[in-house]
Chains A and B, each alone.
Chain A
Amino acid sequence: GAVVSQHPSWVICKSGTSVKIECRSLDFQATTMFWYRQFPKQSLMLMATSNEGSKATYEQGVEKDKFLINHASLTLSTLTVTSAHPEDSSFYICSAREPRPRRGTEAFFGQGTRLTVV
């Protein structure tokens, strides 16, 4: 199957600093990528949809200025957590879907990033 690489796998940062997480599709072009947040032993909650060449679409309740998303190329989307605080500590996962006409292809997930804000 297709490969999606997420980097870094884990990061610890000080409160008030910003952290960037990268999501790359390694062997296909992803016009759309998705960013999820997952708390321990809970489900994945969609944060935003990243669209190549245009603004991201955020889900209700997600702060756009806190979670900056950039999808500058067909293989790379980045999530920047700005002015991070301890409550932003979580597991962040990206996924990418091969574009149509390969209808119904499953979403390929990155390895996830564990963010700890101290």
Chain B
Amino acid sequence: AQTVTQSQPEMSVQEAETVTLSCTYDTSESDYYLFWYKQPPSRQMILVIRQEAYKQQNATENRFSVNFQKAAKSFSLKISDSQLGDAAMYFCAYTPLYNTNAGKSTFGDGTTLTVKP
């Protein structure tokens, strides 16, 4: 079974600075997707960024970028120029593309990010 581990239950960053959230996962599959979701107090799940496992290039979305290390099964999220609106719970998710579990996402336990003004 796939597992996703977020080792940082809580993180804090000063406004305008950079923070990195960690995520590791375990799988025997070679092709899959990885996602970072943001869940603000409203509890709506918002996609932050996604990475296709077969792509070596790290995904980037404006201030958000990932460091994808496939061999190490590591998928960290870097938030640059942190803003107050970035404060939320962040979930790392693994999604297989094939076999009977295709499309089923496994989520990490989440990291609560606090942004200090």
A contact residues, total (Cβ < 8 Å): 22
Q: Which of A46-105 contact B (CB under 8 A)?
A: 46, 49, 91, 93, 95, 97, 103-104
* A27 interfacial contact with B, CB 8 Å: no
- Are B104 and A106 interface neighbours, CB within 8 A? no
- Are A43 and B50 interface neighbours, CB within 8 A? no
Q: Which residue of B lies closest to A104 (CB)?
A: B33
**With A109-B44, A109-B45, A111-B44 as contacts: A43 and B52 at CB distance below 8 Å:** no
Range, interface on chain B: 20 to 34
- Are B108 and A43 interface neighbours, CB within 8 A? yes
* A44 interfacial contact with B, CB 8 Å: yes
- Are A43 and B91 interface neighbours, CB within 8 A? yes
**With A103-B97, A106-B50, A112-B43 as contacts: A34 and B104 at CB distance below 8 Å:** yes
**With A34-B103, A43-B91 as contacts: A104 and B110 at CB distance below 8 Å:** no
Chain B contacts to A: CB under 8 angstroms: 33, 35, 37, 42-45, 47, 50, 52, 89, 91, 95, 97, 103-110, 112
Would you mind naming 25 contact pairs between A and B with Cβ atoms under 8 Å apart? Answer: A1-B47, A32-B103, A38-B43, A41-B112, A43-B91, A43-B109, A44-B45, A44-B91, A46-B104, A46-B106, A91-B43, A93-B43, A93-B45, A95-B105, A97-B103, A104-B33, A104-B50, A104-B52, A106-B47, A106-B50, A107-B105, A109-B45, A111-B42, A111-B43, A114-B43
